[in-house]
Structure formats: C-alpha cells, structure tokens
C-alpha cells in the first residue's frame, strides 16, 4: 500500500502538512455551485445554493468535499501509514475516540467528508461556514453508522482577516476563559438579573480571603462569615477511585479545615472554582466535599435537606460541565485541533486558514447540525447525566 507523499509546507500561511489525498479535505469554494454575489454594502461575498433544510433556522447547504477514504477497523492501516500527514493523524485520533473506533471487530469502513453552510443566527439571513462532518459507512450501507463533527473558527490575525470575512467563520475563542471581556459580559447579566435576598446563608462556606492572590483558605460558619454573597459549585466527583482522592472534610480534620488550608491542596475542580469566584469578587464558596462533613451521617442529613436553598440562594452556581471528575479542572483548553489552509478559487486574492475542533456529541441521525462548543461540552458531559445535577439546575439561581 503506497502512502501519498506529504506536502511539508501545506499552502501559503499554514504550516499543516497534508498528503495529496488530504488536500482534498480543504474547503473549495468553487464546488457545489459556489459563486460571488454582492452584499448590501456592495462588497463581494461568497454564496451557495440551499440544498438542505436546517433543523434550527431556515435552509442551509451540505457541501461535499473532494475527499473519500476506505480504511479498516480496528487498526486503520491506511491512516496509520501516513505518518507525515497531520490531517491523517488528526482524523485517525478522532475515529479512535469515537464509538465505532472503540470496537474490536475487523471491518472495512468508508469515510465521506462535507462542510456545513448554515445560518449564523436564528433569523437565517446570513450564512457561514459553520462546521465539517465526516460520515462513516459500512460496505453496502446507504446510511452512515456514525458522524464525526468538527466546528470551525479562525484567528483574528490580520493575515487571516480576508479569509475569515469571506467564509464568515467565527473568531477563535480566547484560551483565557476568565478574560476581562467574558468577566464583563457575565457581570452585566448578574446586574441585569439580580437575585432576591432570601436571607439564607449556608451552615459552612469556604472563605477565600480578601486577597485575590491569597494561598490560605479556611472553612467558616455562617456566624463567622460576613454574610456576603457566595457561589456554589456543581460538579462530578468521578469514579469511586477518583472520589477517593477528593479533597474533603472529615470528622478527623474538621478543625484543621477551620484553621486554614492551602489552595494547592484542593482538587483541581475546586481550584478552578476559586479562580472564578475571585474573578467576580465573590469571597465565599460552597462545595459539598468541604462544607459537609463526609463521614458524619447527622451532618449529611442536616445539610442535604438544605441543598435546594443552598443552590437557589447562591449569587451564581459554577457548573463544571467540562470536568468529568474532581481531578479535572474546567478552565484549561484540552481539545485537539488542526489548522487547514484555504485558497479561494473564486477570488485568488483570498487565502488563509481555518481551525477544526472535534465536537464530542456525535449524532449520525442529524448530520446537519453544528452547535457551539459550549453546547457540545454540556451535551457530552458526565456532569449533565447525573440526577442530582438536575436538582441543582432546578434549584440553582438563574
């Protein structure tokens, strides 16, 4: 089996290495009836004829790419052989992470790639390159058994500005999840929807201290606290093995928790929740593992009865949907991605690149929908499958 020769340079402005086959995976605006039209501002813009009914807003278009691949599960020898092609490696990893990739039965599969040209907003008036989908078929099957979906964005670099406007892709989100713009947006919503004062305060909360860079935290009672605003953390402990490592309060260390403990000692998910609270100048944080004495049945009975009030009276609830266990934070970017080059064939002056990120919630029955990363994190999270999370969402302040 021969491996297509990799192009080490890719195309202008993008260092991604692509084999000859995978160059066909790059978006081609001259296919599928692509044409140039004029906007209301008399600027040239890319258009495609509608060929699909979107589930969310009006009509859109599925745009097949010049890429098709046959390979064999479970080892994927064709993709594995092309070690010099970044997209082959990226695609192989995505398949191996999918449900079909985890099966051990040997069988041939066929992959077809297409792009989604969908409305940017609910009004359905402006279309954009929203995502890429790869359908996986078994031999002789008319319908795909699985669909891998990828969202598309592009950096704000000046050299990519023309490309971003032409494809109308979303800007790449900031890797800083607590950047000032996001803090300001959320703060404005908290002011817009003030929480009625219920007069309730939890039995115990974690005092983060007045210093936003302080390393010492301590458990305080509502008598000791200043009865200021507090936040509550909703998260997953994880598997029994992961839960064993959780930073928690027990009868034997209750006094130590009140005396003070280091930020470096707490679980990663709690550490990120502390960072969120400090970004919004919230001094107190309620976390079940720390604020309830875990091996005290009486304390559990008393505090669990207050759970609805705890979440309903919180200034805000930190919902760690991107974290699957207490050992996973939620403020760091861990998703794999790849940049693909773009060269317009309709307007040769436009070139650049765009970024693909796999969406975790795969659905072969609904190939047209490319939702946001935030939505996908929620849909695919272990967090949202838990019954008590439903209670916290119902009880939590909105």
Q: What does the pLDDT read at residue 13?
A: 67
- Whether residue 210 is found in the same domain as residue 312: yes
Give how many domains the chain has, as a whole number. Answer: 2
pLDDT one-digit tens code per residue, 142-173: 888 888 999 999 987 767 888 999 999 988 87
Q: Are residues 134 and 200 in the same domain?
A: no
Range of the domain at 351: 6-175+334-367
Q: pLDDT means per 10 residues in the chain (398 residues)?
A: 44 83 97 91 88 55 93 95 96 90 83 90 70 91 89 80 91 84 92 84 95 96 81 93 97 98 98 97 97 97 94 92 90 86 96 89 45 54 54 48
Domain membership flag for residue 374: no
State residue 303's pLDDT score: 96
**pLDDT at residue 58 in the model:** 53
CA 207 to CA 193: how far, in whole Å? 25
Same domain? For 204 and 278 the reply is yes
Residues 278 and 288: their CA atoms lie apart, in Å, by 19
Quick one: pLDDT at residue 8?
Answer: 42
Residue 204 in any domain: the answer is yes
Residues 149, 224 share a domain: no
Nearest alpha carbon to residue 305 among 292, 317, 318, 315? 292
Rg of the Cα atoms in the chain: 25
Verify that 247 and 389 share a domain, yes or no. yes
Decide if 375 is inside a domain: no
Say whether both 321 and 266 belong to one domain: yes
Taking only the tens place, the pLDDT of each residue in 226-277 is: 768 999 999 999 999 999 999 999 999 999 999 999 999 999 999 999 999 9
Model-level pTM?
0.74
Please indicate, yes or no, whether residues 192 and 263 belong to a single structural domain of this protein. Answer: yes
Report the candidate in 228, 381, 222, 232 with the shortest Cα–Cα distance to residue 308.
232
Tell me if residue 396 falls in helix, strand or coil.
Answer: coil
């Amino acid at each position: 089996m021969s491996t297509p020769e990799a192009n080490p340079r890719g195309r202008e402005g993008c260092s991604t290495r692509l084999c000859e086959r995978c160059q066909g995976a790059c978006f081609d605006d001259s296919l599928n009836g692509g044409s140039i039209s004029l906007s209301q501002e008399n600027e040239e813009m890319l258009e495609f004829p509608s060929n699909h009914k979107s589930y969310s807003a009006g009509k859109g278009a599925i745009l097949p790419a010049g890429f098709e691949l046959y390979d064999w599960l479970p080892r994927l020898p064709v993709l594995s052989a092309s070690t010099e092609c970044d997209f082959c490696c990226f695609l192989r990893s995505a398949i191996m992470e999918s449900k079909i990739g985890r099966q051990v039965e040997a069988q041939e599969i066929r992959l077809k790639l297409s792009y989604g040209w969908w409305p940017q907003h609910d009004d359905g008036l402006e279309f954009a390159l929203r995502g890429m989908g790869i359908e996986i078929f078994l031999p002789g099957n008319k319908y795909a058994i699985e669909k891998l979906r990828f969202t598309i964005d592009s950096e704000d670099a000046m050299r990519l500005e023309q490309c971003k406007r032409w494809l109308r892709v979303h800007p790449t989100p900031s890797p800083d999840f607590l950047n000032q713009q996001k803090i300001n947006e959320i703060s404005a919503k908290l002011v817009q929807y003030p929480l009625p004062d219920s007069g309730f305060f939890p039995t115990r909360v974690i005092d983060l201290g007045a210093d936003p860079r302080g390393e010492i935290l301590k458990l305080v009672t509502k008598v000791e606290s200043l009865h200021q605003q507090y936040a509550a953390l909703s998260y997953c402990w994880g598997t029994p093995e992961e839960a064993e490592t959780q930073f928690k309060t027990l009868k034997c260390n209750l006094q130590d928790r009140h005396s003070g403990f280091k930020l470096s000692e707490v679980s990663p998910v709690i550490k990120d929740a502390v960072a969120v609270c400090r970004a919004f100048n919230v001094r107190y944080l309620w976390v079940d593992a720390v604020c309830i004495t875990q091996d005290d049945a009486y304390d559990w009975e008393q505090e669990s009865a207050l759970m609805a009030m705890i979440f309903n009276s919180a200034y805000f609830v930190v919902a760690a949907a991107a974290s699957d266990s207490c050992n996973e934070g939620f403020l760091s970017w861990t998703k794999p991605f790849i940049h693909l080059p773009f060269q317009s064939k309709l307007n040769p002056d436009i070139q650049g690149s765009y970024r693909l990120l796999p969406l975790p919630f795969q659905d072969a029955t609904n190939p047209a929908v490319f939702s946001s990363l935030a939505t996908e994190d929620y849909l695919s999270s272990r967090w949202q499958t838990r019954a008590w999370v439903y209670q916290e969402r119902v009880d939590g302040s909105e």
